[in-house]
Chain A
Amino acid sequence: KAGVTQTPRYLIKTRGQQVTLSCSPISGHRSVSWYQQTPGQGLQFLFEYFSETQRNKGNFPGRFSGRQFSNSRSEMNVSTLELGDSALYLCASSPTSGRAGELFFGEGSRLTVL
């Protein structure tokens, strides 16, 4: 069974730009959640989507948004990038909604903002 796939793996942007990251969950998984990982703050929950609906949201500004498509693939978007948005963005999928013990993580998309 293929794992969680995130694209792109690495990207460099400049301040003020926007970025879109993609996540393909494990086949049959309907929940996709997103996390930001930085050395200073660790892993922080961004949001979770289940069946195309945002179920839970972390404490991030509105510049961070996401969506989920009917095939469970998800995208997250960050607009008006700031230097502090440089991080590893992780996606995780789960067969059910909101149960962290069943999370399967991708390898992440590393974003650098210059």
Chain B
Amino acid sequence: AQSVSQHNHHVILSEAASLELGCNYSYGGTVNLFWYVQYPGQHLQLLLKYFSGDPLVKGIKGFEAEFIKSKFSFNLRKPSVQWSDTAEYFCAAEESYIPTFGRGTSLIVHP
């Protein structure tokens, strides 16, 4: 069965700091990869997704993620975070139409 690991459970940064959240998945075949975000009091929404092609994908609000097949990784990055990026971030891998989510990373950005 697929598993998704998010290495950082809690991350605290100051505004303008750079962000990288780790995500590793277990399946060696074809997977679709996603990052979702849940802002305080809001529902989960898609940040970005990778199906195929360019391994560097860009999402909303300046986020990007890089798919590295050899490392089974799909890390999320942002060069300069803002206070409004405070949220919970979930990595997900879809194999055979079934999504598996990581346990999430809580990001707090101090102004």
Interface residues of A, Cβ cutoff 8 Å to B: 3-4, 33, 35, 41-45, 48, 55-56, 58-59, 90, 92, 97-101, 103-108
Given A100-B32, A100-B94, is A105 in contact with B45 using a C-beta cutoff of 8 Å?
Answer: yes
Contacts of A101 in B (CB 8 A): 32, 34, 46, 49, 51, 94
Q: A90-B44, A108-B43 are in contact. Are A56 and B103 (CB under 8 A)?
A: no
Contact of A58 among B34, B98, B102, B104 (CB under 8 A): B98
Given A33-B99, A90-B43, 10 new contacts (CB under 8 A): A42-B90, A45-B100, A48-B97, A58-B98, A98-B98, A100-B94, A101-B32, A101-B94, A105-B45, A107-B42
- How far apart are B47's CB and chain A's nearest CB, in angstroms? 11
Cβ of B108 within 8 Å of any chain A Cβ, yes or no, is no
In the complex the two chains form, what is the Cα distance from A35 to B92 in whole Å? Answer: 13
| Chain B residues with CB under 8 A of A41 | 103
**B43 lies within 8 A of A98 (CB):** no
Q: Is the CB of A100 within 8 A of B43?
A: no
Q: Is the CB of B51 within 8 A of A42?
A: no
B74 at the interface (CB under 8 A from A): no
Closest residue of chain B to A38 (Cβ to Cβ) is B103
Question: Which chain A residues border B42 with CB–CB below 8 Å?
Answer: 107
Beyond A42-B103, A42-B104, A43-B90, whether A99 also contacts B46 by CB under 8 A is no
